[in-house]
């Protein structure tokens, strides 16, 4: 019998607790692909997922109106040509039920579930330096030992309640968007409140507004949202896509956004005012994120950005009939696209309904949640249902939520106390053999996450193969390597208007969180180049140990 050089040593396999090659935390898109990939490599793997099934974000977020803001064709796995042919998307922008059906189809088709423990939260991962392995403990009391630990824990998986006193006093029905019940929720005749007007709040408002007796939208920061113009995909279109998937994927991998969204090299002021206006009108009519790709400098040139912001404010004024409400809905104090751009189907129109009321919390702040509803400065709004759409502890929250302890007892919490740091968003100095997918210093939320996840898992797999082929037992970036990467991330971020809004991108939505843009803003294609270079030069920027060098070995 031939032995796989990537396998855990057989002596360790015999020992309790359960010995693994790879522990994979999280079963969203990233974790699912990791399970598949490492199983293909013949490794002994175990996945862990806090939720009851696969799907990550799309398992948890079942709120009305939940829908992806990238074309479904892009927002899907590319690693399996068979699955691409077997699955047929029905809409340009799939809704959550269809996304979850797709995810389940993939899990069934590839028989992934048998490798994943559901309803299981990993509560600690501790590096055992003498034995050069990760000790992983779950909330079920199980202990695993793994050569590698892959954190596919998600950039937006730790929801955040609002910092408003009295939430526990509320006696009506409290619903969190990110922990939505699995059974249908009805709103007819109900007085409903929604706190939060980011992408999620917008999606909820436009659906619940149609049904609720009264809907009160508590808005602190208005968002810019653009028409999605979603449509059913015709059989001809789907057939065409299926014929050309290979090319579509290749161009996605080589684009800044990891998808088919057109990009432009045209600077805003390089064309006449009339042409600019026409291009913006076309983008508005075409829908989706077309507008962001219409000019090359909307995230770097404040003046160009303001022109586009004013164009969208004009559209809000055209749609919303009550001028006072329209004015409150117009964002004024941050650049457009600096908060995650939202796509809607009828958000602004919703405010023309007599049952929908906008509460402007900048001028009428929420003081507390009461037993009966929400008290703002101007009085109490009684509610049967209160929906929280108040966002996430983004990018870093999931890894900070449990004990991840590296060399010399240092935790990720220690390491990231002044902000997230890593090399390529993939690995951290001080945490050997620990990998992240869509980590906080990569392009994470700024490009198609499924393309990033696949890339990251492939990069991790190549590193593991390199180690197996060279008899290496640990890999870790040096402190200098990590610093160099952080310098690149920082330098790029200084040019970006993303810094100019108080968002989860910069940690501003979580009290006491270190502030700063730690995302790589150079685009997905450039990011891939950096990662490829890091491997192609023989991983020179990493330190390795040979099995015999491990302390105590
Ligand atoms: C409401 C919402 C809408 C979104 N819409 C879009 C969109 O339209 N377009 C887009 O590009 N992106 C969107 N995103 C971003 C989304 O995060 C990614 O697109 C993608 O789903 C991330 O996949 P993932 O596998 O990395 O993480 P996730 O899908 O978040 O999966 C991570 C999983 O890890 C599990 N986990 C975390 N910690 C532990 C632990 N300690 N133990 C066990 N399990 C753990 C979580 O339960 C979760 O299921 C959206 C996010 C949200 C929240």
Quote the pLDDT of residue 12. Answer: 43
Judged by phi (left if over 0) then psi (alpha if -120 to 50, else beta), residue 488 lies in alpha
- For 423, counting Cβ atoms within 10 Å of its Cβ (0-12 exposed, 13-18 middle, 19+ buried), the class is buried
Please state the rounded mean pLDDT for residues 64-88: 97
Candidate from 114-123, 293-302, 434-443 with smallest mean pLDDT: 293-302
Please state the rounded mean pLDDT for residues 115-124: 98
Q: pTM of the prediction?
A: 0.94
Residue 389: pLDDT above 80?
yes
By residue count, the chain amounts to 553
Quote the pLDDT of residue 551. Answer: 44
pLDDT tens, position by position, 392-420: 988 899 999 999 999 999 999 999 999 99
Q: What is the DSSP string of 196-256?
A: --SHHHHHHHHHHHHHBSEEEEEESS---EEE----BPPHHHHHHHHHTHHHHHHHHHTSS
Quote the pLDDT of residue 549. Answer: 58
Tell me which of 24, 25, 27, 28 to substitute to probe ligand 1's pocket, judged by most ligand atoms within 8 Å of the beta carbon.
28
Tell me which of 25, 26, 107 to substitute to probe ligand 1's pocket, judged by most ligand atoms within 8 Å of the beta carbon.
26
Integer Cα distance of 175 and 199 in angstroms: 17
Beta carbons within 10 angstroms of residue 265's beta carbon: 8
Which residue puts its alpha carbon closest to atom 19 of ligand 1? 449
Using DSSP's 3-state secondary structure scheme, residue 127 falls into: strand
- For 511, counting Cβ atoms within 10 Å of its Cβ (0-12 exposed, 13-18 middle, 19+ buried), the class is exposed
* Ligand 1 atom at minimum distance from 32 CA: 25
Quote the pLDDT of residue 548. Answer: 65
Quote the pLDDT of residue 41. Answer: 97
Judged by phi (left if over 0) then psi (alpha if -120 to 50, else beta), residue 55 lies in left
* Ligand 1 atom at minimum distance from 63 CA: 1
Q: Closest Cα to residue 6, out of 455, 541, 433?
A: 433
Look up residue 481 and give its DSSP letter. Answer: H
Q: Does the C-beta of 26 come closer than 6 Å to ligand 1?
A: yes
Give the tokens for residue 25.
């935390």
Quote the pLDDT of residue 48. Answer: 98
Candidate from 18-32, 210-224, 248-262, 446-460 with smallest mean pLDDT: 248-262
Q: Closest Cα to residue 133, out of 426, 553, 433, 472?
A: 433
Q: Closest Cα to residue 489, out of 525, 535, 425, 441?
A: 441
Q: Do residues 419 and 518 touch, judged by C-beta distance below 8 A?
A: yes
Confidence of residue 552 (pLDDT cuts 50, 70, 90): very low
Q: What is the DSSP string of 406-462?
A: -GGG-BHHHHTTTS---BTTTB-TT-TTEEESS-TTSSGGGS-HHHHHHHHHHHHHH
- For 174, counting Cβ atoms within 10 Å of its Cβ (0-12 exposed, 13-18 middle, 19+ buried), the class is middle
Please state the rounded mean pLDDT for residues 116-139: 97
Residue 172: pLDDT above 90?
yes
Share of the chain above pLDDT 70, in %: 96
Q: How far, in Å, is the centroid of ligand 1 from the Cα of 28?
A: 6
* Ligand 1 atom at minimum distance from 392 CA: 53
Tell me which of 142, 154, 196 to substitute to probe ligand 1's pocket, judged by most ligand atoms within 8 Å of the beta carbon.
154
Q: Which residues contact 333 (CB under 8 A, 6 or more apart)?
A: none
Q: Does the C-beta of 347 come closer than 6 Å to ligand 1?
A: no
Quote the pLDDT of residue 475. Answer: 98
Please state the rounded mean pLDDT for residues 95-124: 98
Q: How far, in Å, is the centroid of ligand 1 from the Cα of 55?
A: 8
Residue 209: pLDDT above 70?
yes
Q: How far, in Å, is the centroid of ligand 1 from the Cα of 358?
A: 29
Average pLDDT, the chain: 93
Integer Cα distance of 73 and 62 in angstroms: 21
pLDDT tens, position by position, 306-348: 999 999 999 999 999 999 999 999 999 999 988 888 999 999 9
């Amino acid at each position: 019998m031939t032995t796989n050089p990537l396998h855990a040593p057989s002596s360790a396999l015999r020992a309790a607790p359960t010995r693994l090659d790879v522990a994979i935390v999280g079963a969203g898109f990233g974790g699912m692909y990791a399970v598949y990939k490492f199983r293909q490599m013949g490794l002994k793997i175990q996945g862990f997922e806090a939720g009851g099934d696969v799907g990550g974000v799309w398992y948890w977020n079942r709120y009305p109106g939940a829908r992806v803001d990238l074309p479904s064709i892009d927002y899907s796995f590319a690693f399996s040509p068979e699955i691409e042919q077997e699955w047929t998307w029905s809409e340009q922008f799939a809704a959550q039920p269809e996304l979850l059906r797709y995810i389940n189809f993939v899990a069934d088709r590839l028989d992934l579930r048998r490798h994943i423990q559901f309803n299981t939260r990993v509560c600690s991962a501790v590096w055992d330096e003498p034995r050069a392995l990760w000790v992983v403990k779950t909330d079920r009391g199980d202990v695993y030992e793994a050569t590698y630990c892959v954190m596919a824990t998600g950039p937006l998986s730790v929801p955040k309640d609002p910092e408003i006193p009295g939430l526990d006093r509320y006696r009506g029905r409290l619903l969190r968007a990110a922990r939505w019940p699995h059974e249908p929720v009805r709103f007819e005749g109900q007085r409903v409140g929604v706190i939060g007007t980011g992408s999620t709040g917008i999606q909820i408002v436009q659906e619940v507004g149609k049904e609720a007796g009264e809907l009160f939208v508590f808005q602190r920061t208005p968002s810019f949202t653009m028409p999605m113009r979603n449509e059913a995909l015709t059989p001809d279109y789907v057939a065409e896509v299926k014929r050309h998937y290979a090319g579509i994927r290749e161009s996605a991998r080589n684009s800044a956004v990891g998808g088919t969204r057109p990009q432009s090299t045209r600077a805003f002021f390089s064309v006449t005012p009339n042409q600019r206006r026409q291009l913006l009108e076309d983008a508005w009519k075409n829908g989706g994120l077309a507008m962001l790709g219409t000019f090359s400098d909307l995230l770097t040139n404040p003046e160009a950005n303001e022109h586009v912001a004013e164009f969208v404010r004009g559209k809000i004024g055209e749609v919303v009939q009550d001028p006072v409400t329209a004015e409150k809905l117009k964002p004024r104090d941050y650049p457009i696209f600096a908060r995650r751009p939202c796509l809607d189907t009828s958000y602004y129109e919703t405010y023309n309904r007599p049952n929908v009321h906008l509460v402007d919390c900048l001028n009428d702040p929420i003081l507390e949640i009461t037993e009966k509803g929400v008290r703002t400065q101007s009085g109490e709004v009684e509610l049967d249902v209160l929906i929280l759409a108040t966002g996430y502890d983004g990018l870093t929250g999931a890894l900070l939520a449990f004990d991840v302890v590296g060399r010399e007892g240092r935790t990720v919490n220690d390491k990231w106390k002044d902000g997230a740091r890593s090399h390529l968003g993939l690995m951290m100095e001080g945490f050997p053999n620990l990998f992240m997918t869509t980590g906080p210093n990569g392009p994470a939320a700024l490009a198609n996450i499924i393309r990033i996840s696949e890339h990251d898992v492939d990069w991790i797999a190549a590193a593991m193969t390199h180690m197996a082929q060279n008899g290496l037992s640990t890999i870790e970036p040096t402190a200098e390597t990590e610093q160099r990467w952080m310098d690149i991330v920082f330098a790029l971020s200084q040019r970006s208007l993303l810094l100019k809004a108080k968002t989860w991108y910069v940690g501003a939505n979580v009290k006491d969180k270190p502030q700063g843009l730690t995302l790589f803003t150079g685009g997905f294609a450039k990011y891939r180049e950096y990662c490829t270079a890091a491997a192609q030069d023989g991983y020179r920027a990493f330190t390795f140990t040979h099995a015999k060098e491990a302390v105590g070995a």
